[in-house]
Amino acid sequence: MFDPIFLIENSITGLFSGGIYALIGLGVVFIFRATKVFNFAHGAVIMIGAYFYLTFSEILISFGSPNWLVFLISLPATFVSSALLGMIIEKFLMRPMMGQHPFPLIMITIGLISVLEGLSAMIWTPAAQYPKPLFPLDIDFIGSLAINRQMLFSFIVAIIIFLIISIIFVRSKSGVAIRATATDQSTAALMGINVSGVFSISWIIACVTGSLAGILLSPINSLTPSLGIVGLSVISVVILGGLDSIIGVLIAAFIIGWVESMASHFLGGQYKEIVPYVIVLLIIIFKPHGLMGTHQIDRL
Amino acid sequence: MLKVSNLNVYYHRVIQALKGVSFEIPDGKIISLLGSNGAGKSTALNAISNILSFQNGEITEGKIEFNGNSTFGKSADKLVKSGMAYVREGRKIFSDLTVNENLVAASYALEKSAKKNDYEQVYDLFKPLYSRRKEVAGYLSGGEQQMLAFGRALLGNPKLLLMDEPSLGLAPVMVGEIFKIISKINKNLNTTILLVEQNANLAFKFSDYIYIMESGKIVIEGKVDKLRKDSDVQEFYLGVGNDSYKSYRDIKHYKRRKRWLS
């Protein structure tokens, strides 16, 4: 049971899945920062993104396209259709509720899970499918350590995209617009910021990064309409990170990824989903704003 | 510059906040809306700048023309870009952004992206802000926050500046400063100003023309000199009473009939 090699391997696996959690969590944080809505449907959005990829790649494969062409066309096509999905959700479900308290909007996202899962089961059937993996399923050995090459590459891609997106949208002028909108929508509008544009952009970013996460996850987990359950682990990631902090999400994603894999190593796979929540519960007792969340500023 | 006619506004489709308000703001003047709490002054400004939708409010009747064009159907950010700035009641600065980031957010009001010069102009006008530009805005003093709110509005070089109670919650010295700046902006930059105030003395001192509102209606209007001589205005807003003694019963204002309500 206690084998150091095995432990290290599991730790690495945990950190790798942490990278993908970070990418997923980024989407949730983006929407939360801009609109104060916690998007429970993000897992479902990821799942739909993965199905988009499945559809595009299968169509291309059926035409006998070579591998590079499959990736070259189906990846951008997936991103574009996910962006459209985000725009549709924002425009028709979120925009009409602008000016309301965020709570009804959060309820809408919960309802959206059922809609998206039901739709995907209708369109793509509930059977497990395996989209063409982006990276080969080989296993490399470093000494006696086995490293899953697919997970390694997925991790690298997830982290690079995470960093690029967060640098662009935190350090730039648009980052200021997103934060201003989050603080006070009507005042942001009075600064000349296009508030509905900010909403659209954050949903688009969330859906596109989410679809990438779905593409990376589905060869590992298999693609079914319930792929969205990863969303559950990501809820704990985002809460632990502090809801609106991008760095917080990155740190929390690694913590949760590692803890999950340790839990399945020592306690068995059935505890994998529970232990992260125990950790989250313990941490928010002492740090209610999460690890890096914004504290309310009160001037005395 | 701005023409508001027969404006009716409802909140939550039930509460009528404005009942047929009309007024006009000529170019280059300072116009004041006066009135007690709940008279509908802020609602009028919110309606003009088209942010009612954020507060579940709705214009059901009337017209608002800004530079001859109707403002309806234009979103708030477009109006701001076309030269209307609004300093809201309670300053409403972005408290978790730094001072500089607050100004960066405000630079969206400019047609082009902001140059260093634009920020320098604001810092020139409000010197205390410059030394604190990297601090989180939530920790500024009340006066500095008001300056920041002004600075944000001025960054977009507005033609019309709407101001909601700039004197609120400030020390008398600061109030004096702020109003000096207001008249400076008006004279030097030729910015038209619509001022909402509860402090009638201040409004009378600085404006050209005054509208007085009560429960969603404009009850009296006129040039400052004319209104200053009006006995009702003197009594209800300027705190000047008649010399003769009155019974306590008569002073209870809710028992008195104001001439304009009859």
In our burial notation (b when 16+ CB lie closer than 10 A, e otherwise), range A151-170 reads bbbbbebbbebbeebbeebe
Of all residues in chain A, the one with the smallest CA distance to B76 is A189
User: Are A197 and A174 in contact, with CB atoms under 8 Å apart?
Assistant: no
Alpha-carbon distance of B194 to B161, in angstroms, equals 6
Q: Please report residues of B whose CB lies closer than 8 A to that of A100.
A: 56
Strand partners of residue B85: B161
Q: Please report residues of B whose CB lies closer than 8 A to that of A183.
A: 94-97
In our burial notation (b when 16+ CB lie closer than 10 A, e otherwise), range B210-242 reads bbbbbebbbbbbeebeebeebeebbbbbeeeee
Alpha-carbon distance of B1 to A250, in angstroms, equals 51
Alpha-carbon distance of A87 to A207, in angstroms, equals 9
CB contact under 8 A, A297 and B139: yes
**pLDDT at residue B259, as a whole number:** 59
Strand partners of residue B65: B3, B70
Distance from CA of B118 to the nearest CA of A (A): 15
DSSP sequence for B78-113: HHHHTTEEEE-TT----TTSBHHHHHHHHGGGSSSP
Better-predicted residue by pLDDT, B230 or A23: A23
Of all residues in chain A, the one with the smallest CA distance to B142 is A299
Any idea which residue has 């978790």 for tokens? B96
Burial level of A62, CB count in 10 A (0-12/13-18/19+)? exposed
Alpha-carbon distance of A34 to A100, in angstroms, equals 14
- Kindly tell me if the per-residue pLDDT of A299 is higher than 60: no
**pLDDT at residue B103, as a whole number:** 92
Of B243, B245, B210, which Cα lies nearest the Cα of B224? B210
Alpha-carbon distance of A13 to A150, in angstroms, equals 11
Given 1.25.40, 3.40.720, 1.10.3470, 1.10.287, which CATH number is that of A4-286? 1.10.3470
CB contact under 8 A, A187 and B95: no
CB contact under 8 A, A99 and B96: no
Q: Which residues contact B174 (CB under 8 A, 6 or more apart)?
A: B142, B143, B146
A177 and chain B in contact, CB less than 8 A: yes
**pLDDT at residue A80, as a whole number:** 96
A195 and chain B in contact, CB less than 8 A: yes
Q: What are phi and psi of A256, to 5 degrees?
A: -65, -40
- Which of A95, A190, A292 would best serve as a mutation to test chain B binding (most B beta carbons within 10 A)? A190
pTM higher than the cut 0.90: no
A172 and chain B in contact, CB less than 8 A: no
User: Beta B30-35 vs B192-197: how paired, if at all?
Assistant: parallel
Considering only CB atoms, B136 lies closest to which of A187, A191, A297, namely A297
Alpha-carbon distance of A167 to A188, in angstroms, equals 22
User: Are A13 and A148 in contact, with CB atoms under 8 Å apart?
Assistant: yes
Q: Please report residues of B whose CB lies closer than 8 A to that of A173.
A: 104, 107, 113
Q: Please report residues of B whose CB lies closer than 8 A to that of A177.
A: 105, 108
Considering only CB atoms, A192 lies closest to which of B55, B81, B92, namely B81
CB contact under 8 A, B105 and A195: no
Per DSSP, B126 falls in state -
CB contact under 8 A, A297 and B49: no
**pLDDT at residue B262, as a whole number:** 40
Q: How many C-beta atoms lie closer than 10 Å to residue A67's C-beta? A: 11
**pLDDT at residue A3, as a whole number:** 78
Each residue's pLDDT, cut to its tens digit, for chain B (262 residues) gives 899 999 999 998 899 999 999 999 999 999 999 988 888 899 999 999 999 888 888 899 999 999 989 999 888 999 999 999 999 988 889 988 899 999 999 999 887 776 778 888 889 888 889 999 899 998 998 888 988 998 999 998 899 999 998 888 888 888 888 888 888 889 988 899 999 988 888 888 899 999 998 888 888 888 988 888 877 777 777 777 666 666 666 655 555 555 565 4
- Which of B12, B45, B94, B97 would best serve as a mutation to test chain A binding (most A beta carbons within 10 A)? B94
In our burial notation (b when 16+ CB lie closer than 10 A, e otherwise), range B21-58 reads bebebeeeebbbbbbeeebbbbbbbbbbbbbbbbeebe
